[in-house]
Structure 1
């Protein structure tokens, strides 16, 4: 099906571990009147449920990059937003797009303090009870979901695959610096929130950082705030 061209800027929303193209539904609803909202997703979920999970970060970056390139409307500006895993992958995606001479106007990472900060102990291979105890600490699954074994059965393979993808021992921390401005946001109860200024080491452009109330999934209570930030960034970029 041919896509209908639009003059609206684009925004690409990169989901977190265990997420899919619908993970940011409230954010999409707040942005769709201002942006062409694009929601690439990794295999093994959503519209790609029948596909096998990916094994490492390099494969995930390549997969998402292919989707972004296929839906980019070159005559309009765009932003990339990613939460947690989406922020980790989005950083390398920005770098790849810059090399293609198609840099985003802004990169908005949330729930991640940038490369080079010590990460928690690997959890992908933990026994089920311990694994979900760690997931629960992040706040990604509600108490209601945690009470139903059937729902845990559904989410467990996807979560383990995504955490395993990030924890793969063959992953390399990229020795790169992007040229795209960064606007980073973290919840004040996140373990590495005070390291958020680390992002300034990984961009040669501007870097703004904010810490807001909440845990790793502060976004669930702050979709209106995030949509306003994103709209303001695009308006500021357009005015330059």
Structure 2
């Protein structure tokens, strides 16, 4: 059994290490890496969501041959995961058992807060307000300078994305959103129009990075999906 994970803006291979460590060995928890970070540090950054989805789809194709799997994405990763699911269906590949999305409005909802263009101080103020930034990054100017272009590229890709309306996917979707992250209940329920299959939407206590607050809950959730 396999969980294929799409990171949030600025995230990478180790962003979900806490969850991977809590899962039993029979679950292959595979976090994809976007260009320009981690093991792909020498690859040029991508500045459009279309490019990111194309790159992610190429990675997924190599991992979905002969076993059941789930696609999971947090924030930007949820959007990428949904768009990759559309590509999987269009290509006729083996479909995931489920798409799991956390902390992510549906692609039909335009992002209102635009920060990619802001001066450094304001940009980091907005990023910090989202939560989820490790203390070691906050304390190290060189690390912040290294991650800033990565984060700006990711936010630019989200902010400039225009959703192309197509038929819903035929994959069940579980959506979780934080009670304190400013996601509108009416808007998040638009996920229910994006799949012909069952879509479950659940509020969880916490801010945008509520996944770190509910590690045990989500580890048990994924075990339950794949048992």
The alignment's TM-score, normalised by the length of structure 2, stands at: 0.93
- Once the two structures are TM-superposed, the CA of residue 227 in structure 1 deviates from its matched residue by 1.8
Tell me, in whole angstroms, the C-alpha distance in 1 between the residues paired with 2:58 and 2:20. 21
RMSD between aligned residues: 1.6
| Runs of 4+ off more than 4 Å | none
2-structure distance, mates of 1:17, 1:198:
22
The equivalent of 1:165 in structure 2 is 157
Alignment of 1:192-231 (within 5 A): 192-194=183-185, 195-231=187-223
Cα deviation, 1:186-226, whole Å, max 9, x if unaligned, reads 11001115232221011110011111111001111112211
Gapped regions of structure 1 (runs ≥ 5): 1-8, 236-240
* 1:1-240 superposed matches below 5 A: 9-72=1-64, 74-99=65-90, 100-142=92-134, 145-168=137-160, 171-176=161-166, 177-194=168-185, 195-235=187-227
In the alignment, the residues of structure 2 paired with residue 78 and residue 52 of structure 1 have an alpha-carbon distance, to the nearest angstrom, of 29
3-state SS of paired residue (1:38): strand
Any idea what the Cα deviations from partners look like across 1:165-193, whole Å, max 9, x if unmatched? 2223xx33031311100011111001115
Question: Structure 2 unaligned runs (5+)?
Answer: none
TM-score after normalising by structure 1: 0.88
Aligned pairs, number: 224
Query: Which secondary structure state, in structure 1, belongs to the residue aligned with residue 4 of structure 2?
Result: strand
